[in-house]
């Protein structure tokens, strides 16, 4: 039928075949998912990307050598099978295949790293160590198909609204946001870093006339977390828009979230995750930083003005609100140097606040953004006030000296969006090959 030296001809996916193909000769190829020996009848379940096909052999009618080879082939071996379609209501997709030929394209070891039928469970570390096989499990496969759909929906939403997709460097000479959460690397004769975000570069493009840009790319944070919501390499979608304030980009963000939910909601694979996805209503609720710390303080969380909200406070606040919401008007001291300070009338009790916001899910922070400083003098002062050297940011600062419009933007964590949408507890489950403090392979 086929050989390893030539392509498999006229191959069909399991779901491309229907009971209407009754009597036709077809070729399927995939992995041996399961074998069932009922004495006189032997079932071989073959799995491909689309689903499952049942191959049925009758001990008395099937050619003896073929019957023996099918019965002997180890689970998870890769096979190509040619045979006739027979309508069968009890079989997957309403048909079975009566085989005429089979070729084992790759025989699997008898001892498997995990059970793809999920009859025997596996710890997450075991699954991640054998991620290639974990992806053969239906639930895991669906997570990453949904991830692909989310990325497609994000691009569709932004493209339709006139955004230009960009690609910025991931090897940089200076910290994006200050601090020490940087991975240093050897870059020929000098030191460089893996980028924390595309922030500086997307802002620089605001001076170019490209006034609506976005990027979907990895970001790197050298933070020594060991939690279910942190990774050291994550995927972020970042936007930057000229001639707008923080309010306009907040509206873009909530509209994007609702659009993504709506696009994914109708996907049949959600049933494999036992999910009934509801599209969040917009606009999302907005509370100020001051209102947030007052609310959690009343619930017993001690937070002083100017302190960041920790995990415990976020959970408390999330339980109170119970839906997606924004926290706005943050203290300047705990936001990056590029966040635009609020004007005098907008300040809270004469405290220094900025036009910054976080988008929160009841379980986890999803995104952060702000209106940006577009004054060269103010930006330089802010950089130095954070204990950073303005000279290190000269390439960035220079763009603010030659006509920089007001602008705003945000960064949204794709991985956290997925884990919150799909009600998954550990962020590692929605990343193909996660990187954290302990995991650098596969």
Q: What's the whole-number average pLDDT of the chain? A: 94
14-106 and 132-430 have identical folds: no
Paired tokens of 284: 């999302």
> Is 10 strand, coil or helix?
coil
In this model, does residue 345 exceed pLDDT 70? no
> Which of the 8 DSSP states describes residue 40?
S
pLDDT given at position 2: 44
Would you state the pLDDT for residue 302? Answer: 87
* CA–CA separation, 154 and 176 (whole Å): 24
Write down the pTM of the prediction. 0.94
Long-range contacts of 273-281 (CB under 8 A, 24+ apart): 273/139, 273/142, 273/143, 273/422, 273/423, 275/422, 275/423, 277/421, 280/323, 280/324
pLDDT in tens, 272-281: 999 999 999 9
Residue 149 CB-density burial (10 A; 0-12 exposed, 13-18 middle, 19+ buried) = middle
Average pLDDT over residues 80-95: 96
Q: What is the pLDDT of residue 176?
A: 62
What is the rounded CA–CA span in Å between residue 380 and residue 87? 73
Look at residue 344 in the predicted model and tell me its pLDDT: 58
Residue 35, token pair as written in the block: 């074998």
Q: What pLDDT shows up at residue 218?
A: 98
pLDDT band of 346, cuts 50, 70, 90: low
Is the model's pLDDT at 4 over the cut of 50?
Answer: no
Q: Which two tokens stand for residue 219?
A: 């970001």
DSSP secondary-structure letter at 87?
A: E
Q: What confidence tens digit (pLDDT) does each residue in 27-36 have?
A: 999 999 999 9
Please state whether 439 falls in left (phi above 0), alpha (psi between -120 and 50) or beta.
Answer: beta
Q: Are 254 and 293 in contact (CB under 8 A)?
A: no
Q: For residue 99, name the pLDDT band (cuts at 50, 70, 90).
A: very high
Give yes or no for residue 1 having a pLDDT over 60: no
> Which tokens is 46 given?
């073959």
pLDDT of 336 above 90: yes
Question: Options 3.30.930.10, 3.40.190.10, 3.40.50.1100, 1.25.40.10; which CATH number does 132-430 get?
Answer: 3.30.930.10
Task: Tell me which architecture the domain covering 14-106 has in CATH.
Answer: Beta Barrel (2.40)
SS3 312: helix
In sequence order, what E strands does 221-266 have?
A: 233-242
For residue 6, pLDDT over 70 is answered with no
pLDDT value, residue 10: 86
- Interval 190-247: pLDDT, tens: 999 999 999 999 999 999 999 999 999 999 999 998 999 999 999 999 999 999 999 9
Confidence (pLDDT) at 337? 95
d(CA 359, CA 253): 9
Q: Where are the beta strands (DSSP E) in 322-363?
A: 325-331, 353-360
pLDDT, tens digit, for every residue of 115-144?
A: 999 999 999 999 999 999 999 999 999 999
Q: What are phi and psi of 299, to 5 degrees?
A: -90, 5
Q: Residue with structure tokens 């006139």?
A: 162
Is 432 a residue whose pLDDT tops 90? yes
Residue 333 banded pLDDT, cuts 50, 70, 90: very high
| Predicted confidence band of residue 349 (pLDDT cuts 50, 70, 90) | low
Residue 49: the pLDDT is 96
Please list, in sequence order, all residues whose beta carbon lies within 8 angstroms of the beta carbon of residue 189, skipping any fewer than 6 positions away: none
Q: What is the pLDDT of residue 351?
A: 80
Dist CA 356 CA 330 (whole Å): 6
* Residue-range domain boundaries for the chain: 14-106, 132-430
Are 330 and 302 within 8 A, CB to CB? no
- pLDDT digit string, tens, across residues 295-311: 999 998 889 999 999 99
Going by pLDDT thresholds of 50, 70 and 90, the confidence category of residue 350 is: low
Cβ count near 330 (within 10 Å): 25
Q: Looking up tokens 């600062």, which residue turns up?
A: 397
Q: Helix/strand/coil (H, E, C) string of 188-224?
A: CCEEEEECCCCHHHHHHHHCCCCCEEEEEEEEECCCC
């Amino acid at each position: 039928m086929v050989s390893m030296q030539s392509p498999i001809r006229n191959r069909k996916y399991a779901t491309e075949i229907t009971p209407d193909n009754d009597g036709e000769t077809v070729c399927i190829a995939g992995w041996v998912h399961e074998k069932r020996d009922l004495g006189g009848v032997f079932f071989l379940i073959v799995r491909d990307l689309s689903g499952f096909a049942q191959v049925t052999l009758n001990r008395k009618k099937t050619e003896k050598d073929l019957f023996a080879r099918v019965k002997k082939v180890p689970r998870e071996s890769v096979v190509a099978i040619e045979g006739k379609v027979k309508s069968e209501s009890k079989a997957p997709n309403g048909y079975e295949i009566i085989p005429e030929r089979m070729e084992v394209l790759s025989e699997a070891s008898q001892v498997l790293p995990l059970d793809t039928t999920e009859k025997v469970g596996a710890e997450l570390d075991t699954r991640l160590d054998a991620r290639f096989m974990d992806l053969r499990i239906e639930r895991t496969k669906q997570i990453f198909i949904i991830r692909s759909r989310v990325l497609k929906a994000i691009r569709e939403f932004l493209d339709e609204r006139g955004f230009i997709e960009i690609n910025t460097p991931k090897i940089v000479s200076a910290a994006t946001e200050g601090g020490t959460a940087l991975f240093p690397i050897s870059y020929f004769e000098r030191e460089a870093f893996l980028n924390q975000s595309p922030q500086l570069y997307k802002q620089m493009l605001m001076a170019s006339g490209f006034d609506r840009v976005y990027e979907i790319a990895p970001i790197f944070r050298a933070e020594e977390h060991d939690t279910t919501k942190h990774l050291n390499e994550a995927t972020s979608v970042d936007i930057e828009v000229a001639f707008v304030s923080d309010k306009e980009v907040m509206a873009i963000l909530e509209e994007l979230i609702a659009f993504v939910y709506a696009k994914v909601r109708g996907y049949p694979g959600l049933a494999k995750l036992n999910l009934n996805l509801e599209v969040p209503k917009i606009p999302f609720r907005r509370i100020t930083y001051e209102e947030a710390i007052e609310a959690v303080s009343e619930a017993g969380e001690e937070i002083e003005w100017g302190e960041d909200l920790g995990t415990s406070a976020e959970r408390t606040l999330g339980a109170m609100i119970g839906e997606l919401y924004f926290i706005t008007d943050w203290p300047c001291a705990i936001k990056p140097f590029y966040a635009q300070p609020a004007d005098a009338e907008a300040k809270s009790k004469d405290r220094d606040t900025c036009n910054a916001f976080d988008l929160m899910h009841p379980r986890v922070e999803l995104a952060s953004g702000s209106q940006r400083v577009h004054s060269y003098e103010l930006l330089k002062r802010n950089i130095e006030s954070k204990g950073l050297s303005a000279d290190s940011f000269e390439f960035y600062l220079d763009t603010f000296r030659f006509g920089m419009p007001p602008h705003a933007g945000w960064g949204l964590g794709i991985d956290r969006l997925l884990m919150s949408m799909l009600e998954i507890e550990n962020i590692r489950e929605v990343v193909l090959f996660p990187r954290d403090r302990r995991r650098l392979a596969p």
